[in-house]
A = this chain, B = another copy of it.
Amino acid sequence: MILYDMVQAPNPRRVRIFLAEKGIEIERVEIDIPAGQNRTPEYLAINPRGVVPTLRLDDGSIIDESIAICRYFEGLQAEPNLMGRDAREAATIEMWQRHVEFDGMFQVASIFRNTAPHFAARAHPGSAPDLPQIAALAERGRALVPRFFDMLEKQLANNAFVAGDRFTVADISALVTVDFARWVKVRVPESCVQLHRWYAAVSARPSAAA
């Protein structure tokens, strides 16, 4: 089993934190996306979508998408549980994970992909055709991220963690998103005291360094 990884990128970090929480170590191969290593014929033969992280199983088949990779390891090793123990909890964690992705992470990614100079000609990830950046889309992202922080602030006023009273995959996505937002100079406002309290707690976990 090999994890195609990129140390700096937010999505692979989600998987690495997840694995660190589970105490699972696997072989990793670094793919340099800005240098185009995800679009070489060799890499596209492994994953035609050209994305990382990608998990390659021993029979050569792959699982990509960070959350699907997490789901695989959750199934292989149930504890510590990060995706829910019963129907209600699994659905609540998935709901929050998706809130974080769609309302937060995707918006930050939208700012980044549509402004970063080295993605000027390929504003869409992976092996998508070359597409120009859209400045208005980055602006839309900047208009939406404060709403994401506000949503988390309200949720964390009543909950220790993003999906309830314990650390889950929703916290992993949220932590990675808050750090990713710094890349585009978007920071959690000082007024979000709950969010700062939560951020300090999840950043202090050993897994955050993964």
Query: Which A residues fall within an 8 A CB radius of B?
Result: 48-49, 57, 63-65, 67-69, 71-76, 86-88, 90-92, 94-95, 98-99, 103, 123-124, 128-129, 131, 134, 136-137, 140, 143-144, 147, 151, 154
Contacts and interface: CB of A to CB of B under 8 A. Distances in A.
A80 to B, nearest CB: 16
A14 to B, nearest CB: 13
Contacts of A68: 91-92, 94-95, 98
Contact of A71 (B94, B124, B128, B147): B94
A26 to B, nearest CB: 14
A63 B206 CA distance: 31
A87 B99 contact: no
B49 A75 contact: no
B49 A72 contact: no
Contacts of A151: 48-49
Contacts of A86: 75
